[in-house]
């Protein structure tokens, strides 16, 4: 069946904590207009109550604990989220959660470790000597007090950070140590030499503790919320071999029909095709070129040739995965 997925959020929603309530109330209407699935925003505790959801702090906090100055997220409480999901399911509408696994933000404490400043334009190029820095990498989640997981994050679970509190300098710092470094070039985008690092504290998926904890978390999350699928954020910055392992692990437990759509932010079709091939065409992907084509059409008005709307899109070459 060719369904219709609706992105049920945008960046500038009001920070009123009522989004899940609005979604619940809108479920019947969404069914009436033909919506078959809803993509919801990141539902986890971020850097504060106004965080859109991509500044991830605690993946286990769905609006349940008093952390970062708030119990609710920007969108509401955990209870309200679960009620909205139940309301959508009652209308036979699938729910796809936006999951951010690339980084963590707003740590609870700083730690000292060896790191190398690298170039913004080439993450393999050191621009200064390796030295001891101090940065925000210790996540203890005191408001949650170990509920659901007692895992604490330390510097050695990350591959890079964006600041040194000793010098006060901002930049990209590659964390050094045994087994440390960026993900292999062939496992991430090669923009800027190696595009593993994007922002905040960049998670190192070569560490077995991180892999184990992430798998534990994703099963908890799926069972806790009863979601039907996941949008994977920023996959070109995450080791694709880990992503494949994670997807396979989820489907082994929750069924082969569990839906995944990946956001690999690049207009070039070949990049998306390569990523699909790495996953044996078992996932869908956001059609980035189509996004830009619509934007260009909105700006050019009558000067835009609608016959070119699908040129270079994933949909034109591989509609099943778009």
233 is an active site residue: yes
263 is an active site residue: yes
User: Catalytic residue among 176, 224, 263, 278, which?
Assistant: 263
Q: Which stretches of 95-158 are DSSP H helices?
A: none
Residue whose entry in the numeric block shows the structure tokens 């016959």: 307
User: Catalytic residue among 58, 233, 239, 271, which?
Assistant: 233
Output phi, psi for 101, to 5 deg.
-110, 0
Show which residues are catalytic: 233, 263
């Amino acid at each position: 069946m060719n369904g219709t997925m609706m992105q049920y959020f945008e960046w500038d929603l009001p920070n009123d904590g009522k989004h899940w309530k609005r979604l619940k109330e809108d479920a019947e209407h969404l069914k009436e207009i033909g919506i078959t699935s809803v993509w919801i925003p990141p539902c986890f505790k971020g850097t504060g109550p106004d965080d859109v959801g991509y500044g991830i702090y605690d993946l286990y906090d769905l609006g349940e604990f008093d952390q970062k100055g708030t119990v609710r997220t920007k969108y509401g409480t955990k209870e309200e989220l679960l009620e909205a999901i139940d309301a959508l399911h009652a209308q036979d509408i699938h729910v796809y959660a936006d999951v951010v696994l690339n980084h963590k933000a707003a740590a609870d404490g700083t730690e000292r470790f060896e790191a190398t400043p690298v170039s913004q334009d080439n993450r393999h190029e050191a621009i200064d000597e390796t030295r001891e820095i101090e940065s925000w990498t210790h996540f203890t989640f005191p408001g949650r007090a170990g509920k659901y997981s007692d895992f604490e994050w330390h510097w050695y679970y990350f591959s890079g950070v964006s600041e040194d509190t000793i010098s006060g300098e901002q930049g990209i710092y590659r964390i050094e140590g045994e087994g440390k470094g960026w993900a292999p070039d062939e496992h991430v985008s090669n923009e800027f030499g190696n595009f593993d690092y994007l922002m905040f504290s960049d998670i190192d998926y070569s560490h077995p503790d991180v892999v184990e904890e992430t798998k534990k978390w994703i099963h908890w999350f799926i069972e806790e919320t009863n979601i039907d699928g996941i949008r994977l954020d920023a996959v070109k910055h995450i080791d694709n071999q880990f992503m494949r392992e994670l997807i396979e692990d989820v489907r082994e437990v929750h069924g082969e029909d569990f839906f995944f759509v990946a956001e690999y932010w690049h207009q070039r079709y070949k990049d998306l095709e390569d990523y699909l091939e790495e996953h044996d065409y078992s996932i869908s992907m956001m059609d980035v070129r189509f996004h830009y084509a619509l934007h260009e059409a909105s700006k050019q008005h009558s000067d835009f040739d609608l016959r070119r709307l699908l040129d270079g899109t994933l949909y034109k070459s591989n509609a099943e995965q778009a």
